[in-house]
């Protein structure tokens, strides 16, 4: 399978698609900056009286439950249902699912009431949503657990599932991919997963094969992370370098992509 | 007309005026840092039970509607009316007016219920508030549209209107100014307009000719942006450099001001 | 008294304790990053339906009232009471106490309804909570005022009181300490005090002598600040350097600690 990373990156830069975020307070600034650095246009809007209007002019809608409250959940659902009506694709990041019942149930409720196109989370979050069918078999089988979790969720909800970790796993229920790019530095800053969501969402805006756009987002973010980590091993400097490197992605960059597609 | 940029900057640095912000989640951190870097004292407070107290001890009140919800609007109105009673000047940034009805109507409601001293927004936002009297005449006449929009709003609401863009236009209904400083890098980070609001507000705290303090804020922010852009063309590094350069503004800096006043 | 700074830092790095924050919007991102940079695991959660679950799996709970509203106060109280039941230590930063009645009363209400283990604030905030017993005797006696305020609050509420300033004072009612590390650069960025709270909280998670863990947090944060200030005198760059330097703390670093314990 040929993936036209750079062509889709150029589409983002040329069309500057509006990426409507309802995301958490912690990352709003850096998520907006990562989205801009990539070439898309971020907007944050969470009030019920305006989310229908906002999502209707957006090219993609990104829900992130990293800091929740009841009013925000109402707005996520309303905006998500509107996105579905308007054929605006939806990405959900179920941050903290599994950690509290409130987050797990909120993620499940969104998955039930909104047609989600891409569901992206770390292994723990995704396993809490996949349910009993997935058994983590210990540290040595993280890889197989990632694939299994992604496939289970993809089939269960009819979406593209992205399970992040040392390797990232993507499945749409038929096709699956392993992304071997990335850096340990992501674990030393806050919001790496949330920012990845913004990058994948931006690719979803220009490529409606969401299995492919998820891979494109992962490759872009992870390679930029590798390049930033090559500049610095310090977390404050890494955050700045990551935003810089996202803006520097180019045709050559994607030669570094280590992706295996099944 | 002589503008004493540096004298007013020194007043900010020496008196550290309290700048009460009710602003959006995305930029709270960077707006606070820009305000501190300039020499003023930022405070963020949005709860109805305290905004009257807070705005009463502030030297200027800055409302930014970048992330709205009903409770916050109530607090903006209450704080704004209190500011009016206490003779604390008010700056309004109608972020996203024109994009959703909620934002447009909120901006108009604030303008109706609160005496706003400076209204600052980009061309689209400001035109949505100016109404039918302003016709954008195409890409080539952005300049004349900016002037016309600023003058229309200045007269309509009896305030100083600042229309930002490649050039920035300022009008108080009688006098008008064009600010030719700035950098394209502002469009590559989130919150440049919001941070500009903090800088203008800080000058409003020390110079109550708000036509002049708006120009001072624009010159200060835009020149710092030029200097930051001369250091780096990368957005993450630019954000850091911008905060640094605001702190470095000095008497010589203002020789770079390219302002035309009519 | 021997303080094993480095041993406790290693405990943080090795056990990555979960630090539950209910903190203000302005600093959420940098507080999370400082906590990660130190080696602990930050989480932000403020909704009543989940704070009991979240604080129950945390190793320490940090309340910061920097941006308040009624719903958040309810969550702070609920989480605080739950923390008390689960023996999770609590740190309170009464940001802005004294500036508005709402903040002063909220801080006092939390102190009344929740058993707080460490109360940390600047001189003005802490004096507003200490009440009439503390008299600031003028600029020249800031030091004695800091000690007196810390001791008064320690005894009044049965906790460890940390009064920050040019020197920082710590008291548990019996023992007291003066921390002479730090840098003026802390006053040129937003949220230095809030980030310090995250660092002290992280040490509280690994050392339940909170007088000692407060000193460890102060020494760690202030020394990292000194090292960052030695790199740069510019506020944007300083913020990045501060996060970097927190990650670089090591055994030698603590030889720079200038602490006097009585």
Give the gap in angstroms from C-alpha C193 to the nearest C-alpha of chain A.
18
H or E element that contains B125: helix B123-130
> Does C234 reach chain A within 8 Å, measured CB to CB?
no
The 10s digit of each residue's pLDDT in B62-110 is 999 999 999 999 999 999 999 999 999 999 999 999 999 999 999 999 9
A partners (3+ CB pairs within 8 A) are B, C
Return the pLDDT at C141.
Answer: 42
pLDDT tens digits, A47-99: 999 999 999 999 999 999 999 999 999 999 999 999 999 999 999 999 999 99
Q: Count, in order, helices (H) and strands (E) of chain B.
A: 10, 9
Q: Could you tell me which chain C residue has the CA closest to the CA of B71?
A: C69
Angstrom distance (rounded) from CA C31 to CA B108 = 36
- Nearest CB partner across the interface for C36, out of A24, A103, A189: A189
Q: Which of A25, A50, A248 sits opposite B68 (nearest CB)?
A: A50
ipTM computed for the complex? 0.94
Range of the domain at C240: 5-261
**Mean pLDDT along residues C155-169:** 97
Chain B nearest-CA distance from A51, in A, is: 9
pLDDT higher than 50, residue B170: yes
Tell me the pLDDT tens digit for each residue of C29-61: 999 999 999 999 999 999 999 999 999 999 999
**C25/chain B closest Cα distance in angstroms:** 7
Which residue shows structure tokens 């909220």?
A: C106
Mean pLDDT to the nearest integer, A16-42: 97
Residue C137 has pLDDT above 50, yes or no: no
Task: For residue B118, list its beta bridge partners.
Answer: B91, B160
Instruction: Give the tokens for residue B222.
Output: 């835009």
Question: In Å, what is the CA distance from C160 to each residue of B63, C76, C187?
Answer: 38, 19, 24
Give pLDDT, residue C140: 41
CA atoms within 13 A on the CB side of C99: 26
In chain B, which residues have their Cβ closer than 8 Å to the Cβ of C234? 243-244, 247-248
pLDDT at residue C133, rounded to an integer = 53
Q: What is the pLDDT of residue C132?
A: 57
pLDDT bracket for residue A36 (50, 70, 90): very high
The Cα-based distances of A140 to A34, A143, C246 in angstroms read 33, 8, 32
Contact A67 C45 (CB under 8 A): yes
Helices (H) and strands (E) in chain C, counts: 10, 9
Residue C82 sits at φ, ψ, to 5 deg, of -65, -45
pLDDT class for C240, splitting at 50, 70, 90?
very high
Cα–Cα dist A195/A36, whole Å = 11
Cα–Cα distance between A113 and C187 in angstroms, integer? Answer: 48
CATH number at residue A236: 3.40.1190.20
Which whole number is the average pLDDT over C226-232? Answer: 98
Mean pLDDT of A111-115: 98
Please state the rounded mean pLDDT for residues A119-140: 75
Among C236, C238, C136, CA closest to C183? C238
Asked whether the beta carbons of A145 and A137 are under 8 A apart, the reply is yes
pLDDT (average), residues A182-200? 98
Whether residue C18 is predicted with pLDDT greater than 50 in this model: the reply is yes
Task: Measure the CA–CA gap between A33 and B186, rounded to whole angstroms.
Answer: 11
State chain C's mean pLDDT as an integer. 94
* Res A258: pLDDT: 97
Contact B36 C234 (CB under 8 A): no
pLDDT at A136 exceeding the cut of 80: no
Give the one of C26, C101, C234 whose C-beta lies nearest to B44's C-beta: C26
Unique residue bearing structure tokens 């008497």: B251
Q: Tell me, what's the pLDDT at C136? A: 44
Angstroms from B100 CA to nearest CA on chain C:
24
Q: Residue B132: what pLDDT?
A: 57
Q: What is the dihedral of CA B150, B152, B158, B161, to 10 degrees?
A: -10
Tell me the residue ranges of DSSP E strands in A212-258.
Answer: none
Q: B136 touching C, CB under 8 A?
A: no
Overall domain count for chain C: 1
Query: Hey, which chains touch C, using 3+ CB pairs under 8 Å?
Result: A, B
pLDDT value of position B127: 94
Four-point Cα dihedral B195, B196, B201, B207, nearest 10? 150
Task: Give the sign of the dihedral formed by CA C123, CA C128, CA C134, CA C138.
Answer: positive
CA distances from A25 to A65, B67, B221, C43, C119 (A): 10, 11, 26, 12, 25
What integer pLDDT is reported at residue A144 of this predicted model? 64
B44–C25 CB contact, under 8 Å: yes
Average pLDDT over residues B182-202: 98
Q: What is the mean pLDDT of the segment spanning B214-238? A: 98
Q: What is the pLDDT of residue B133?
A: 53
- Mean pLDDT of all residues in B48-57: 96
Average pLDDT over residues C71-91: 98
Amino acid C86: pLDDT: 98
Interface membership of C22 toward A (CB under 8 Å): no
Could you tell me if B42 lies within 8 Å of chain A, comparing CB atoms?
Answer: no
């Amino acid at each position: 399978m040929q993936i036209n990373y750079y062509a889709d990156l150029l589409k983002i830069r040329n069309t500057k698609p509006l990426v409507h975020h309802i995301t958490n307070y912690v990352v709003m600034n850096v998520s907006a900056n990562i989205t801009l650095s990539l070439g898309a246009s971020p907007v944050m809007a969470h009030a019920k009286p305006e989310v229908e209007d906002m999502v209707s002019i957006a090219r993609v809608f990104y829900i992130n439950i990293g800091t929740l409250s009841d009013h925000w959940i109402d707005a996520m659902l309303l905006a998500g249902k509107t996105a579905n009506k308007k054929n605006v694709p939806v990405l959900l990041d179920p941050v903290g699912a599994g950690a509290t019942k409130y987050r797990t149930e909120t993620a499940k409720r969104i998955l039930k009431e909104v047609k989600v196109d891409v569901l992206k989370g770390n292994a723990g979050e995704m396993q809490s949503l996949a349910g009993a069918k997935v058994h983590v078999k210990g540290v040595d089988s993280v890889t197989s657990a990632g694939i299994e979790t992604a496939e289970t969720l993809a089939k269960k909800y009819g979406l593209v599932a992205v399970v992040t970790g040392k390797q990232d796993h993507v499945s749409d229920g038929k096709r699956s991919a392993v992304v071997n790019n990335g850096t340990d530095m992501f674990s030393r800053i806050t919001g790496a997963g949330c920012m990845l969501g913004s990058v994948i969402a931006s690719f979803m805006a220009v490529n409606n094969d969401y299995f492919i756009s998820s891979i494109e987002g992962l490759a872009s973010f992870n390679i930029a992370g590798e390049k930033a980590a090559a500049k610095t091993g310090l977390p404050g400097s890494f955050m700045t370098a990551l935003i810089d490197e996202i803006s520097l992605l180019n045709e050559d960059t994607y030669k570094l992509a280590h992706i295996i597609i099944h």
